[in-house]
Amino acid sequence: MLNGIAPDGTVLWPAAGIVRALRDAASELAVDGWTPVTAAGCWITERSPEQQPNKYGRASWRQLLHDSRLFELRYRDVHGQRAAWYRVRTE
């Protein structure tokens, strides 16, 4: 298993490097406990460019956050635009 990815392509999300990167991004970028998905994606790309959703078989950061089930995902209106925000699940 490498970065939480088994040889057959299944992902063990708690062991995945991208989950660690998302948690690190949240600790750096969170506003009132929530982190903008777009900002986290940019932050991770700058620091760990190998940690991208497609490496884990996902098309987007939002899909990865949802599929991992380790994060809460919400949408907010930011300057008239719908924006995705996330936080680490506590339960």
Q: Domain spanning 16-88: which CATH class is it, in words?
A: alpha beta
Helix, strand or coil for residue 82?
A: strand
Query: Domain coordinates of the chain in residue numbers?
Result: 16-88
**At 7, is the pLDDT very low, low, confident or very high (cuts 50, 70, 90)?**
confident
User: Minimal CA–CA distance to 32: which of 80, 85, 82, 71?
Assistant: 85
Question: Tens of pLDDT along 13-39?
Answer: 999 999 999 999 999 999 999 999 999
Q: What is the mean pLDDT of residues 52-65?
A: 95
Would the pLDDT of 91 be above 80? no
Q: In the prediction, which pLDDT does 1 show?
A: 67
Would the pLDDT of 45 be above 90? yes
User: Minimal CA–CA distance to 64: which of 76, 49, 54?
Assistant: 54
